[in-house]
Structure 1
Amino acid sequence: MTDTPTTPAGARPQLLLVDGSSYLYRAFHAMPDLRVDPADPHSAPTGAIRGMINMLGVLRKDYPDAAYAACVFDAPGKTFRDELYPDYKANRASMPDDLRSQIAPIHEVVALLGWTVLAVPGVEADDVIGTLAHTAAGQGLQVLISSGDKDLAQLVNERIAIIDTMSGKRRDLAGVQAEFGVSAAQMLDYQTLVGDAIDNVPGVDKVGPKTAAKWLAEYGSLEGIVAHAGDIKGAAGQNLRDKLAWLPTGRELLKIRTDCDLDGYVESLPALDSIAVRAQQTGDLAAFYEKFGFKTLIKALTAADGSRPAAKPATAAARPAADLFADAPAASQAGAERVYETLLDWPAFERWLARIEAADLTALDTETTSIDEMQARIVGLSFSVVPGQAAYIPLAHTGPDAPVQLPLAEVLARLKPWLENSEKKKLGQHIKYDRHVLANHGIEVAGYAHDTMLQSYVLEVHRPHNLASLAERHLGRSGINYEDLCGKGAHQIPFAQVPVDKAAEYSCEDSDQTLDVHRVLWPRLQQNARLRAIYELEVQCSEVLYRIERHGVLIDASLLKKQSHELGERIVALEAEAHQLAGQPFNLGSPKQIGEIFFDKLGLPVIKKTATGKPSTDEEVLEKLAEDYPLPARILEHRGLSKLKGTYTDKLPQLVDGAGRVHTHFAQAVAVTGRLASNDPNLQNIPVRTAEGRRIREAFIAPPGHLILSCDYSQIELRIMAHLSDDEALLKAFHDGLDVHRATASEVFGVPVDQVSPEQRRYAKVINFGLIYGMSSFGLARNLGIDNTAARNYIQRYFERYPGVKRYMDETRQLAKAQGYVETVFGRRLMLPEINSPNGPRRQGAERAAINAPMQGTAADLIKKAMVAVQQALDTGPRASRMVLQVHDELVLEVPTAELDWAKAEVPRLMAGVARLKVPLLAEVGVGANWEQAH
C-alpha cells in the first residue's frame, strides 16, 4: 500500500485546485484522436474530454481526503491585462476547433464528477486559483494546485504547493528553489526579468533564467536590481536600463491576483462552502459516458456502483460554459438578428448622417492607429442608434484589397457640425479617449451624455469595466477579439490593414454593444437618485480631465537634467560613505550582503526575521535602525534618491512634447474610493517629504506672463470625520477655527489650548490621522516611539473626549457587515467583500476600510465637484486660466498675471462652496513661478 502524497508541511491537502485551462490543451495534445464513433473520423472529437476525466480521476484517487475541490477555466473575453497591455497574449494561436467543441462537455462532466466548475468573466483562471488558494491558506488549510504552468509558482508558500500530474513534478518551497534557483517569494521578480513568451510579456532582452537568478541572489529583489541598474555591466546591464520603464508594467501583467471578486461564482467566500467536494452523479455520468462512447468508463462505473445509464443525459447539475457567466437581464438581445452596414458612398453616408441627426442618442466608436490617445489617428468610425443596427465608415484602410473609401478629411468636415453640437447626445465606452482622438483631427466633441465605462464604475466598482466584460456580464454576448483581426506578435498588422468587411463587423459590434449595455445600466442608475448623481458627476469630471490632459503642464527639462546630475553625484557619494561606514565595499541593493554587514560584522540588533528565520533588512527595519545607526540611514537615502532619479529627473524630460509640456493620463475608473490615478507619467506621487523631492516640483513651471496657483483643501478628511461622526467637540473645534491638532492635544493631554507643546501637537496629529486609517494601539506606539500601554491610554482618552467618533466607528462597522458596503456623504458605494470574512486579518482590514473609505471617498467626491465648479467658472468668464493638475486634494492652475487676483479669491471660494457640511470647508491658496513655490 502506497502513501498518499502530502503537502510541504506534511499534511494531506484539504483543497484541490485544477488549472482547467492549462489541462485542456495538455489533454488535447496528449490523447489520441478519439471520436464518438471510432469508425467515423468526422464524428465529434472526445480526446480532451477523456484526458480530463483521467486526470481528475488520478487526483481524486491520490487525494481522497480533500474536502474542497474546484476546476478553474478561463472565461471568454478580455481582462484588465488586455487593457493594461493590448499585446498581451498576442502570440497565442487560436484554439483548435476540435478542442473548442469539447469545452462545454468538459465543463459538464467535471461537474458531474463532483468538482465545482468555475469560469469567472474578466478574471483569468490563474487569478481565480490565486484568490482561492490564498483564501484557503489564510484559513490554515493545505492547498494543492494541479497545473503544469510555472507562473503559478509565485503562489507557493508553506501551505500551497503545485503538482504536475503529467510529469510528476512537484513545486513546493524546496522544489521551486531547486528548479528556478530563486525562492518562491522571488518568483514574480524572476518572471518579470525573464518575461513570458507564451503570453507575449517582454522581459529584459538577453536575460535568461541564469542571469535573473544571479541578479536576484545578489540584489534580493527587482527593486534592488533596479536601484543598482547603473552598476550592472555589459550588454545585460544596458538592456536592463533600456527596460526600466517597462518593468513595472511587466510585473503587473505577470502578478497573479489573490484578491479577486468572485461574488456570484463562489458563495460565502472565504468560507469555501460552495466548493466542497460533492459525490459524483452516477446516473447522469453514465448517460454522459454513453453519449460520448466511453464504453470502458461505463463498465467501470457500473461495476463500482451497480447503476445503469439514465434514459437521457441530465444537465441541470452543470451549467454550460455560456451560462457560467451569464447574469444578463438583456440577454434576449444577444440572439437577435443584427444588421451592420459599411458606408462606402455618399448616399449611404447621408442616410446615416440623417439617422444620427434625428436620433435621441447615438453610440459612437473610433478605430485608430494607436492606443496613445495624444497620438492616435482615425482609421474608421462606427455609429449605432438602435440595438442590432450599426454602420462603419472606413476612412484610412490601406490593405491590398481595401476598397475605395470616402475621403477622411471631407467625412470629418461633414460630421463636425453634428459632433460639436451639444444638443446631439452621444454615448461611448471610455469617452475621454475618443474625445482626444477626434481632437487630434481638430474636432472638439460636445454632447457626450453617457459613458458605459463610468456607469459600470459607479454601479459595480469592484468589477472590470472594459466593454468585453460588460457585454458578457450584462448581455451574455462575446465579441470579436482584436487579435482575431490583426494577428499576434511579429505578424500583427495595423488596424488600417484589416479587411474592411471584418473591421466593419468589429467596430459596429462595439457601438452596438455599447448601446445595449447602456440600455441595461442606465435604468439601474435612474432608480437610485444618489448613484445617478455620482454618475453624472463622473461624466462632468471626464470633461474636465480631458481639458487637463489636453493642455498638459509645462516642464523645465533643463532644470530636471541638472537635478539628475546632482542626484547622481550624491548617490555616488552616499555609496562611498556607506562603504566607509561598513569598512568594506558591498552592494547597497543586496539584502543578503546588507544582512551580513549589519548582523555578522557590525552586530546591529535584529528587529525582526524573515519567513525563513533570517534577520530581515526590509525598509521598516532600515527605518528603525536608522534612528540609531548611520549606515542604515545612508542606505535609505541612497534608495530614495535612486528612485527619484530613475522615476522623475531622468524620465520626465523624455516625455515632453514639442511645446515643452507633459501630458499625464488620469484613470477615472480604477480606485474603489473614487480617487483619480495619474499615470504615463504618474504626477500624483512626486515625493514632498524630502528637499530633493520638493525640488522636482520646481521644474513644473508657468509660461511667460503666467504664475502657478495651487489650492488644496485643509484637513479635509478630519472635517469629513467631524461631519460623519457628529461629534460635538470635533464640530466645535472646526467651527471655532481652531487648530484641530492643537485642540485634540488639549483634550487628550488635559491642558489649555494655549499651553499645548509642539510635541503634544505632533502626538495629537498622529492620533487624529491614525484613527481615521484604523491604526491600532500597536501602530500608534510604533509611530510615536512609545510603549503599547501608553498608546492604548492615548486612544482611550481620545475616545472619551470624542465619543461621537467612537460611536461612528462602531456603527459603521455594523452597517458594513449588514449590507456589505459603505457610502460616501454623497452616495458613492464602496464595496467591502471581506467584511464578514472568518479570516481575522482580512476582516480587520475590511473593517478599517469601512471606517476610512467614506472619508477618502467623500474627499474624492469633493475634489471632483471642485474641478467641475472651477472649470465652469473658467468657461463662463471666459478666463484664460487653465487647470493643469489634480493631485489628491489639490488643484493646480496656470494663471495669467492679469487674472491672478480673481483666481486667488475665486478658486478657494468655489472649492469651499461645492458642498454644505456640518463644518466649514476651507481651501488654502498659494502662488509662485513654479509648483513648489506655490506651496
Structure 2
Amino acid sequence: MAAPRPDLLLLDGNSLAYRAFFALPESIATSRGEPTNAIFGFTSMLVKLVETYGFVPTAVAWDAGMSGRKEVYAEYKAQRARKPDLLRQQWPELAPIVEALGFANVSLEGYEADDVIGSLAVRAREDGKRVWIVTGDRDVFQLIDPDGHVGVLATGRGITDTKLYDHAGVVERYGLTPDLIPDFYGLKGDTSDNIPGVPGIGDKTAAQLLQQFGDLETVLASIDQISGAKRKENLTEHAENARISRELARIRTDLPVELDLEEVALRRPDDQALRERFQRFELRDPWRRLEPLLEGDGRPDGPAGAAFTAPVREVDVDAIAAALGDGDALVVVAVVEPTEQAQEAGQLFDPDATPGQDAGAEAPAPTRRFAVGPLDDEGAPTALLVGACESAEAVVAAVGSRPVVGHDVKALGLVPERVAHDTLLAQYVLEPQRRGYPLDELADELNIAVALEDPAAAIAARVALVAARQVERLEKTGLAQLLHDVELPLVGTLREMERIGIRMSVPRLEEVGSEVRAEIASLEEQIHADAGRTFTIGSPKQLGEVLFEELGLSRKRRGKTGFSTDARVLQSIREEHPIIPRIERWRELSTLTKTYLDVLPQLASADPDSRIHTTFAQTVAQTGRLSSTDPNLQNVPVRTALGRRIRGCFEAADGLVLLSCDYSQVELRILAHYAGEEVLKDAFREERDVHTATASEVFGTAPEDLDAGLRSKAKMVNYGIAYGLTDYGLADRLNIPRAEAAEVIDAYFARFTGVKTFIDETIEQAKEAGEVRTMFGRRRLIPELAARNRQVRSLGERLAVNTVIQGTAADIMKLAMIGVDRAMRESGTSARMILTIHDELLFEGPADEMDDLRALVEREMVAPWVHDPPLKVEGGVGRTWVEAK
C-alpha cells in the first residue's frame, strides 16, 4: 500500500537478526574466515530501509528478558534451541552497526523487544508521530491503530522483502481488526513461541470464530453454539490455556523505556565508523548501496586528514624514459580511456581491446591518458608524469626494464619486462574467494582517498597506495612468496600465449558441425517418436513428464521441478528404454554444438591466420587453477569420438607440428606423497598401473586375475575418495548397490590407512585454522567447516582435502610453465608454448626441434616437484591436437 514516509522506525533486532542468520548460507565469511551471514543479512536489511525511506529516526529494540511471561506459563519459548554458536559469535557486532548508522539501540532489563517496541510506539503515537514497526513477528499487528499512526513493515521470505500493513491490511488478511490479534493467538496458539492455544484450531478456524462471536471470551461463552463435537471438547478442556495464550501474545505498551525520541531524531550516521565496520566485515555490496546515500560523498579525508596528492607533470610518451631518469626505481603505470564511465570504473586499459590482439593498435588517435611515476620508500608516488597515448604498449616500452607496479598488468597488452607487483593478483592471492577485484573497491576498503584531477594520475596513485598496503599483508600472511614466485612471473607467459593463439581448421570444423547438426535433427525425430509426441527435449520438466509419467521409467532423485533427469539418473535407467541413450547423445551433441561448433568457426574466421585467441584468467578458481574464457578451451572433450574430432580441428600452422605434454596422474601422485602410501608410491616409481595395484590390494586378488570391473571400482575410488566420495556417490557412479559401494570404500580405507589419516588430519587442521594451504603456501579459507548444517560442513571437508591436492597440482603447473618459458628462451628454439589445459601444455614448432623440445619440457615440468613419488610427463607430436595427444 502507498503511504508517506514515517517519522519513526522501530525495529525488532532479534527478529531481524535471526531471520538474517537462517536465511543466508552459514558459509558466508570474511577473508579471515569469520562468519558474517547474520551480519551481512542484518546490515542489508538496514541499508534497504535507508535506500527506501532515507535516514528516518530509527530505534532497534533487543530482548533482555521474558516480560514475566515465564511466570504466566513456564513452557513459554521452552522449545527454542540455544542460540547457534555462529550467530552467537556475530551477535556483539550488530549493535555497533546500528549505532554507526545513527540509529539507537534500546532494551529494558527483564523485557522482550516486542514490549519495548509497543511502549515506544504508543508514546510516539501520542506525540503525533507516524510510526512503522519492522519485524517478522505477526503478533505485532495488534499495535496497528485505526488512525494510521502505527503500521507494520512485515518481513517476507527474502531478507530485504517487506510488506506494509495498516488497519485495513490486517482486516484484509485475517478478517479481524488489529485489536483482536491477541484473541486470535489465544485460540490458534503460536508454535514458534510455544504458546499453546487450543488443539485443532488453526488460523482459519480462529478467524472464523472471532468473526462470528466477536472476541475470545464470547467464543468460550458460546461453545454450545459451535459446530463439531471435538472442537467443542477442545475449547471446553483448554479454555484456560486459550486465556493464558491471549495474555502471552498481548504486547505491553506501558513500560518505562528510557529513550529520548527527540534525541534519536537528531542522530546522524557516522561515516568513518560505518566505513570501518563495513570494511571490517567485508560488506561490499551493502557499502556500495549505502555510500551514495551518506552526506557528501561518504569518504573520510584519510588518516592524515587530507586525501593523497602528488605533483603532476604533462609529458609526451617519448619523453617518459628521460623524465624517469636512470636506475631501478619502482614505477607505477596506469592507462585509461578519458571517459567518465571509464574513470568511474577504474579501468586501466582499453575496454574495447580484443584478447589476442594488440590493445589499442587500431585506435585512430591519441585518445588514452597515461600516468607513470616513481615510488618512494613507502610505495607512494613522488610525482606523476601524465599525457596522451595511442596504446598502452608505448607506455610500457618507455618504462623499459624498471620494476613496474600496476593493476591487471596483463590487460595492458604488452606486459612490462619486470612486474614487481600487481594489485589484482595480490588481492587474489590474499582473498581467492572474492568474486572480483575492482581497483576502486580495493582502495575504498583500505580507506584510501586521492585528490588528483587527472583520471590516469588518480588511478596510478590508488594502485601505488593499495599495493603498499597489500605488501604488508602479504608478508604477514606468508603469501608474498606465492605472489612473487608463482603468479607474477606467469603473467608475461600467459599474455604471450594469448597473443599467439592456436590455429583452427575452419573447413574441417564446419564439416563436423554440419554432420553433428544433422545427427541432432535425426535424434530429435527418434526421441519424439519414442515419446509418442513432440516436446522440448532440453526442458527438464517436460523431459521428466515424458520419462516418468508417460513412459513409466524408474524414478530416482527429485529435482526442483520434478524428478531429476540429470546425467547420473539417465545413466542408471539407460537399459530401461531406447529413448535414454538417444537423449544422452542429443545432450552431448547439443552442448558441443553450442559451446564449440557454433562459436569457434566465427572466432577463427575473424583472424587473418585462422587462430583462436583465448584469455587465461588467474583470479577465478580458489584452488589456483587457471581458467580459459572467450572461448573456454579447458573443456574440449578428449575421451569421446566427437570430442576427438573437434580437437582434430586444432592444428599447427603450415610447415609446423604440435607437441602435447601432459602430467600422468599428477593428483594421485600428490595424494600418495601426502598419505605416505608405499603401495601407491611403488606403483608410480615402477610405472605400474596404479589402479590395478590398488584393486589388487583392496580386493586381495593377484593383478593377473583382476577383471575390468574390479579395476574400474578401484579407479573410481582412487580418483574420488580424497574428495569426499561417499558410498552413495560410488554406487551412483558405478551403478552398484549402496551396500557394495560401502564395502569397497571400507576395504580401501582398511588397506590404505595413510589416505584415511591424511584426510582426517587435513580436515581437523582446517577446522582449527579455518584454512588450508597447498604445498607451495597457497591459502584457501574454509568457513563451511564451522557451519551448523551437516551438508555444508561435509562440503567444507571435501573442499579442504580437494584444495590441498588440486591446489598443489595447480601450483606445480604454474611453476612448470614459468620454467618451460624461461628454458625455451634460453635454448633459442623457434617453437612456442600456445596453450595450457589443466594438466597439459601444447607447443607449436618445427618438427626437427621437437625431440629436444620434448626433453626440455619434460625436464621443466617435473622440476617443481622434489618429492616421492616422482612426477611423470607423457608427450606426443602431431599435425593436429588430437594426433599429438
Counterpart in the other structure of 1:461? 432
Q: Which amino acid aligns with 1:643?
A: T
Closer, same or farther: CA 592–798 of 1 in aligned 2, 3 Å: closer
Counterpart in the other structure of 1:598? 547
RMSD: 4.1
Contact 2:691–2:711 under 8 Å retained in 1: yes
Q: Secondary structure at the match of 1:49?
A: coil
Q: Secondary structure at the match of 1:799?
A: helix
Closer, same or farther: CA 24–711 of 1 in aligned 2, 3 Å: same
Structure 1 residue 111 displacement after superposition = 5.5
Q: Distance in 1 between matches of 2:678 and 2:483?
A: 29
Contact 2:657–2:878 under 8 Å retained in 1: yes
Q: Distance in 1 between matches of 2:475 and 2:747?
A: 46
Structure 1 residue 927 displacement after superposition = 1.3
Q: Distance in 1 between matches of 2:99 and 2:20?
A: 31
Structure 1 residue 846 displacement after superposition = 0.6
Counterpart in the other structure of 1:911? 861
Q: Are residues 1:704 and 2:685 paired?
A: no
Counterpart in the other structure of 1:395? 388
Structure 1 residue 608 displacement after superposition = 2.9
Query: Pairwise mapping of residues 367-446 of structure 1 onto structure 2 (< 5 A)?
Result: 367-368=336-337, 369-374=350-355, 376-377=359-360, 379-384=368-373, 385-386=375-376, 387=380, 389-391=382-384, 393-395=386-388, 418-419=398-399, 421-422=400-401, 424-434=402-412, 436=413, 439=414, 445-446=416-417
Listed one character per residue, the Cα deviations across residues 699-758 of structure 1 (whole Å, up to 9, x for unaligned) are 111001111111111010110001111122222222222211010011011111232222
Q: Are residues 1:449 and 2:420 paired?
A: yes
Structure 1 residue 479 displacement after superposition = 6.9
Counterpart in the other structure of 1:835? 785
Q: Distance in 1 between matches of 2:491 and 2:20?
A: 53
Structure 1 residue 524 displacement after superposition = 3.5
Larger radius of gyration: 2
Closer, same or farther: CA 364–327 of 1 in aligned 2, 3 Å: farther
Contact 1:373–1:433 under 8 Å retained in 2: no
Structure 1 residue 920 displacement after superposition = 0.9
Contact 2:336–2:368 under 8 Å retained in 1: yes
2:775 to 805, 820, 825: 825
What fraction of aligned residue pairs are identical, expressed as a percent? 33
Query: Pairwise mapping of residues 839-854 of structure 1 onto structure 2 (< 5 A)?
Result: 839-854=789-804
2:587 to 639, 650, 653: 639
- In structure 1, list runs of 5 or more residues that go unmatched: 29-47, 58-63, 73-102, 117-141, 145-156, 169-174, 176-279, 293-312, 397-407, 481-500
Q: Are residues 1:855 and 2:835 paired?
A: no
Q: Secondary structure at the match of 2:432?
A: coil
Structure 1 residue 339 displacement after superposition = 3.0
1:901 to 833, 851, 860: 851
Closer, same or farther: CA 627–333 of 1 in aligned 2, 3 Å: farther
Q: Which amino acid aligns with 2:53?
A: A
Closer, same or farther: CA 913–19 of 1 in aligned 2, 3 Å: same
Q: Which amino acid aligns with 1:325?
A: F
Q: Distance in 2 between matches of 1:797 and 1:728?
A: 17
Closer, same or farther: CA 338–900 of 1 in aligned 2, 3 Å: same
Q: Which amino acid aligns with 1:370?
A: P
Listed one character per residue, the Cα deviations across residues 349-368 of structure 1 (whole Å, up to 9, x for unaligned) are 96995346456211111114
Q: Which amino acid aligns with 2:726?
A: S
Q: Secondary structure at the match of 2:651?
A: coil
1:628 to 569, 576, 586: 576
1:26 to 35, 38, 52: 52
Closer, same or farther: CA 339–916 of 1 in aligned 2, 3 Å: same
Closer, same or farther: CA 849–356 of 1 in aligned 2, 3 Å: farther
Counterpart in the other structure of 1:164? 162
Q: Are residues 1:547 and 2:496 paired?
A: yes
Q: Which amino acid aligns with 1:27?
A: Y
Q: Distance in 1 between matches of 2:422 and 2:104?
A: 39
Contact 1:531–1:827 under 8 Å retained in 2: no
Q: Distance in 2 between matches of 1:773 and 1:367?
A: 44
Q: Distance in 2 between matches of 1:789 and 1:767?
A: 15
Q: Which amino acid aligns with 1:780?
A: L
Listed one character per residue, the Cα deviations across residues 802-861 of structure 1 (whole Å, up to 9, x for unaligned) are 111111111111111110111111221122111122211011111111112111001001
Contact 2:302–2:448 under 8 Å retained in 1: no
Stretch of structure 1 that moved more, 355-364 or 547-556: 355-364
Count of residue pairs the alignment pairs up? 655
Q: Are residues 1:559 and 2:530 paired?
A: no
Stretch of structure 1 that moved more, 512-521 or 851-860: 512-521
Listed one character per residue, the Cα deviations across residues 108-135 of structure 1 (whole Å, up to 9, x for unaligned) are 216669999xxxxxxxxxxxxxxxxxxx
Q: Distance in 1 between matches of 2:797 and 2:599?
A: 39
Closer, same or farther: CA 429–627 of 1 in aligned 2, 3 Å: farther
**TM-score normalised by structure 2 residue count:** 0.67
Structure 1 residue 762 displacement after superposition = 1.1
Structure 1 residue 333 displacement after superposition = 5.3
Closer, same or farther: CA 331–832 of 1 in aligned 2, 3 Å: farther
Counterpart in the other structure of 2:443? 471
Contact 1:451–1:539 under 8 Å retained in 2: yes
Contact 2:432–2:622 under 8 Å retained in 1: yes
Q: Are residues 1:616 and 2:610 paired?
A: no
Contact 1:883–1:894 under 8 Å retained in 2: yes
Structure 1 residue 578 displacement after superposition = 0.6
Structure 1 residue 545 displacement after superposition = 0.6
Closer, same or farther: CA 911–24 of 1 in aligned 2, 3 Å: same
Structure 1 residue 426 displacement after superposition = 0.9
Q: Are residues 1:655 and 2:603 paired?
A: yes
Closer, same or farther: CA 591–507 of 1 in aligned 2, 3 Å: same
Closer, same or farther: CA 478–629 of 1 in aligned 2, 3 Å: farther
Structure 1 residue 799 displacement after superposition = 1.5
Q: Are residues 1:325 and 2:278 paired?
A: yes
Listed one character per residue, the Cα deviations across residues 36-58 of structure 1 (whole Å, up to 9, x for unaligned) are xxxxxxxxxxxx424x669999x
Contact 2:320–2:385 under 8 Å retained in 1: no
Closer, same or farther: CA 645–167 of 1 in aligned 2, 3 Å: farther
Contact 1:49–1:105 under 8 Å retained in 2: no
Q: Which amino acid aligns with 1:289?
A: V
Stretch of structure 1 that moved more, 368-377 or 829-838: 368-377
Q: Which amino acid aligns with 2:264?
A: Y
Q: Are residues 1:538 and 2:487 paired?
A: yes
Contact 1:748–1:801 under 8 Å retained in 2: yes
Q: Distance in 2 between matches of 1:925 and 1:869?
A: 17
Contact 1:707–1:897 under 8 Å retained in 2: yes
Q: Distance in 2 between matches of 1:584 and 1:911?
A: 55
Closer, same or farther: CA 395–572 of 1 in aligned 2, 3 Å: same
Structure 1 residue 873 displacement after superposition = 1.2
Query: Pairwise mapping of residues 785-796 of structure 1 onto structure 2 (< 5 A)?
Result: 785-796=735-746
Contact 2:572–2:735 under 8 Å retained in 1: no
Q: Distance in 1 between matches of 2:398 and 2:442?
A: 28
Stretch of structure 1 that moved more, 327-336 or 867-876: 327-336
Q: Secondary structure at the match of 1:360?
A: coil
Counterpart in the other structure of 2:56? 49
Q: Which amino acid aligns with 1:362?
A: V
Q: Distance in 2 between matches of 1:167 and 1:561?
A: 62
Q: Distance in 2 between matches of 1:680 and 1:281?
A: 65
Q: Distance in 1 between matches of 2:544 and 2:642?
A: 28
Q: Distance in 2 between matches of 1:546 and 1:325?
A: 36
Query: Pairwise mapping of residues 512-523 of structure 1 onto structure 2 (< 5 A)?
Result: 512-523=461-472
Listed one character per residue, the Cα deviations across residues 671-715 of structure 1 (whole Å, up to 9, x for unaligned) are 110001111111101123321122111111100111111111101
Counterpart in the other structure of 1:222? none
2:839 to 889, 898, 912: 889
**TM-score normalised by structure 1 residue count:** 0.64
Q: Are residues 1:366 and 2:314 paired?
A: no
Q: Are residues 1:354 and 2:335 paired?
A: no
